[in-house]
C-alpha cells in the first residue's frame, strides 16, 4: 500500500492535491482513500491531507502514521512542530519539499537520512502562496510512485478541476505536467510500505480512568489569555517590518486595526510587532498612513528558523 501525506497551509490546495492524486491512482486501477484533515485552524494554518492506494481493499482509516511519501507544499512548515511534517519518518520515507534550495541543504538542516527531493514550484516572479501549488504537488507525487501515467494524470486534473472553467484547467494542467516532468529522474522512487496488521503492534497501556471532581473535569480555563501559548506566527508567509525612519509613531492606528492585538507601543514609541503571534494579514501595511510598514517574504528566514528550532528541540 502507498501511504502519502501532504502538508501545507490552509488555502494552499492540499485537499485538491489529495483528491487529484487519489483520483489518478483510482484511474490506474487502485483502491483508494483520500481525505483532508481539518482542525480549528484557518487559512494560513498548518493542515494536512492524505492518500492511501493499494491493489486490494483498504481497511486502514484516519491519519497516516507511517508514510511512504511526505509532500511539503510550504517549506516554512518543516520546522513547525505543530505541523508534524517529520512525524513517524521511517528510513524509506521520501520527503518532497517545494523549495528552491538543494536536497543537500535540507538533509544537513534536518539531519535526516531519508531520501529528500526538492522541487521549486514558484516560477519566476511569483510569491510563495500559489493557487497551483496543490495540483503541482499531486503531479510530482504521482511521478514518484511510478504507477501513474502522464496521460492519466492529465485526465484527472481536467476532471477534478473541470468546474473551474477552461482557462483555469489549462493553466493547472500546464503546471501539473511541468511538475510531473520535473520528477522524471525520480520516477518510481517511492516504494509501497508493508501491510501493518494489528497483531505485531504494541499493546495499549490502558488505565482505569480515575474519577476527578466535577470542578476539574469540565472544560474550564481558570486563567486569562492562555491563548498566547499558541504561536500563530507560524502561519505567516509574509512579515510586516516597521521602518522607523518613516514611522509617525501613531501606534493607535496600526495597533487598533490589527485584528490579533499583536502591535503594541515599543521602544522609542514605535510600533512593535509580536512576531510569535502575527498571522501576516498585512492589514497594518494597508493601514499605515506613512507607508512605513513593509511586507517582507518570510521565506528566506525559514532556513535560519529551522536551524534554530532543531537546536532548541533535538
Partner 1 sequence: MSEPVIKGMKDIPSEHILGAGTALCAGCGALQALHEIYDVLGENTVFVNSAGCMTLMSVYPFTPFRGGWLYTAMASAPAGAQGVRDALDILLAKKRIAPEEDMQVAVLSGDGATYGMGLAAASCAIDRDLDFLYICYDNEGYGNTGNQTSAGTPHASRTATDTGAEGVPGYKKDLFGLWVANRPAYAATVIGAEPLDLARKVEKAKSIKGPKLILALSPCPVGWDYDPMETLEIGRLAVKTGIWPLKEFVDGKVVHTKTPHPRTPVEEYLKLQGRYAHLFSPKRNDALIDEIQSRVDAYWDAVGD
Partner 2 sequence: MTRQLLTGNVAAAWGVRLAEVDYVPAFPITPQTEIIETIAGWIDKGEMDCRMVTMDSEHSMITAAGAAVATGVRSYAATSSQGLLYGMEMLYTVAGWRTPFVLTNVSRGLSAPITLESDHNDVMAARDSGFLQIHCATCQEVVDATLMAYRLAEDKRVRVPVIVNLDGFYLSFTREPVDIPDPAKAREFLPPFDPGSLKFRAGRPLSEAVAVLGGTPYSYFRYELHLAAMGALAVYDEVAEDFARLFGRRYDAVESYRAEDADYVFVMLGSFSTKARDAVDGLREAGVAAGLVRPRLFRPFPVEALRRALAGRKGVAVIDQNLSMGKGGVLHGELLSALYGVADAPPVVAGFIGGLGGRDIGPGEFREMISVLEQAVADGETPPPRLLFSAEELRHVRKLQASAHVEREEIHRQERGDTERDET
Residues that bind partner 2 (CB under 8 A): 39-40, 209, 211-215, 217-225
Q: Which stretch binds partner 1 (CB under 8 A): 46-54, 78-86, 169-177, 269-277?
A: 269-277
How near is the Cβ of 14 to partner 2 at its closest, in Å? Answer: 18
How near is the Cβ of 225 to partner 2 at its closest, in Å? Answer: 8
Residue 213 contact among partner 2, partner 1, none, beta carbon within 5 to 8 Å by kind: partner 2
- List the one residue out of 76, 71, 72 whose CA is nearest residue 299: 76
Please report where in the chains the cell 482505569 appears, as a residue: 208
Helix (H, G, I), strand (E, B) or coil at 179: helix
C-alpha to C-alpha distance for 77 and 220, rounded to whole angstroms: 31
In the complex with partner 1, the residue whose CB is nearer, 17 or 262, is 262
Helix (H, G, I), strand (E, B) or coil at 56: coil
Please report where in the chains the cell 491563548 appears, as a residue: 227
- Kindly state the cell numbers that stand for 171: 493553466
How near is the Cβ of 36 to partner 1 at its closest, in Å? Answer: 12
Task: Tell me: does residue 80 bind partner 1 (CB under 8 A).
Answer: no
Task: Tell me: does residue 256 bind partner 1 (CB under 8 A).
Answer: yes
Helix (H, G, I), strand (E, B) or coil at 209: coil
- CA distances in angstroms from 131 to 14, 54, 126, 176, listed in the order given: 11, 29, 11, 12
- Kindly state the cell numbers that stand for 133: 501549488
Residue 312 contact among partner 2, partner 1, none, beta carbon within 5 to 8 Å by kind: none
Instruction: Give the helix/strand (H/E) hosting 4.
Output: strand 2-9
In the complex with partner 1, the residue whose CB is nearer, 196 or 290, is 290
Q: Which stretch binds partner 1 (CB under 8 A): 171-179, 241-249, 271-279, 303-311?
A: 271-279
Please report where in the chains the cell 493607535 appears, as a residue: 252
Residue 202 contact among partner 1, partner 2, none, beta carbon within 5 to 8 Å by kind: none
Q: Which stretch binds partner 1 (CB under 8 A): 17-25, 133-141, 200-208, 255-263?
A: 255-263
C-alpha to C-alpha distance for 27 and 34, rounded to whole angstroms: 14
Binder among 45, 103, 122, 168 for partner 1 (CB under 8 A): 45
Task: Tell me: does residue 12 bind partner 1 (CB under 8 A).
Answer: no
Give the CA count within 13 Å in the CB-facing half-sphere of 124.
0
Task: Tell me: does residue 133 bind partner 1 (CB under 8 A).
Answer: no
Residue 256 contact among partner 2, partner 1, none, beta carbon within 5 to 8 Å by kind: partner 1
In angstroms, what is the C-alpha Rg of the chain?
A: 22
How near is the Cβ of 221 to partner 2 at its closest, in Å? Answer: 4
How near is the Cβ of 249 to partner 2 at its closest, in Å? Answer: 32
188-206 as b/e: b if 16+ CB within 10 A: ebbeebeeeeeeeeeeeee
Residues 153-182 that bind partner 1 (CB under 8 A): none
Please report where in the chains the cell 497516516 appears, as a residue: 64
Task: Tell me: does residue 287 bind partner 1 (CB under 8 A).
Answer: yes
Contact 294, 285 (CB under 8 A): yes
Task: Tell me: does residue 216 bind partner 1 (CB under 8 A).
Answer: no
In the complex with partner 1, the residue whose CB is nearer, 88 or 256, is 256
Contact 121, 130 (CB under 8 A): yes
Look up residue 122 and give its DSSP letter. P
Look up residue 43 and give its DSSP letter. B
Positions touching partner 1 (CB under 8 A) are: 10-11, 39-45, 219, 221, 223-232, 235-236, 250-253, 255-262, 264-265, 274, 276-277, 279-283, 285-287, 295
Amino acid at each position: 500500500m502507498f501511504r502519502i501525506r501532504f502538508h501545507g497551509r490552509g488555502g494552499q490546495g492540499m485537499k485538491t492535491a489529495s483528491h487529484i492524486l487519489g483520483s489518478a491512482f483510482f484511474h490506474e486501477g487502485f483502491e483508494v482513500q483520500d481525505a483532508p484533515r481539518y482542525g480549528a485552524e484557518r487559512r494560513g494554518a498548518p493542515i494536512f491531507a492524505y492518500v492511501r492506494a493499494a491493489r486490494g481493499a483498504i481497511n486502514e482509516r484516519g491519519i497516516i502514521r507511517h508514510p511512504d511519501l511526505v509532500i511539503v507544499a510550504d517549506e516554512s512548515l518543516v520546522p513547525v512542530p505543530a505541523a508534524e511534517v517529520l512525524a513517524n519518518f521511517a528510513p524509506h520515507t521520501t520527503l518532497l519539499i517545494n523549495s528552491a534550495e538543494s536536497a543537500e541543504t535540507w538533509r544537513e538542516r534536518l539531519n535526516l537520512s531519508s531520501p529528500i527531493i526538492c522541487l521549486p514550484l514558484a516560477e519566476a516572479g511569483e510569491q510563495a502562496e500559489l493557487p497551483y501549488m496543490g495540483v503541482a504537488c499531486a503531479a510530482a507525487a504521482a511521478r514518484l510512485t511510478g504507477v501513474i501515467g502522464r496521460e492519466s494524470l492529465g485526465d484527472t486534473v481536467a476532471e477534478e478541476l473541470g468546474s473551474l472553467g477552461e482557462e483555469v484547467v489549462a493553466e493547472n494542467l500546464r503546471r501539473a505536467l511541468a511538475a510531473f516532468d520535473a520528477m522524471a529522474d525520480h520516477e518510481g522512487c517511492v516504494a509501497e510500505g508493508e501491510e501493518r496488521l494489528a497483531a505485531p503492534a504494541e499493546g495499549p497501556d490502558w488505565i482505569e480512568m480515575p474519577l476527578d471532581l466535577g470542578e476539574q473535569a469540565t472544560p474550564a480555563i481558570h486563567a486569562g489569555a492562555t491563548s498566547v501559548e499558541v504561536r500563530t506566527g507560524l502561519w505567516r508567509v509574509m512579515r510586516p517590518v516597521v521602518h522607523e525612519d518613516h514611522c509617525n509613531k501613531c501606534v493607535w492606528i496600526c495597533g487598533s486595526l490589527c485584528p490579533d492585538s499583536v502591535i503594541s507601543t515599543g521602544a522609542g514609541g514605535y510600533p512593535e510587532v509580536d512576531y510569535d503571534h502575527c498571522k501576516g494579514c498585512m492589514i497594518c501595511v494597508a493601514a499605515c498612513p506613512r507607508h512605513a510598514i513593509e511586507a517582507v517574504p518570510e521565506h528566506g528566514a525559514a532556513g535560519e528558523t529551522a536551524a534554530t528550532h532543531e537546536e532548541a528541540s533535538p
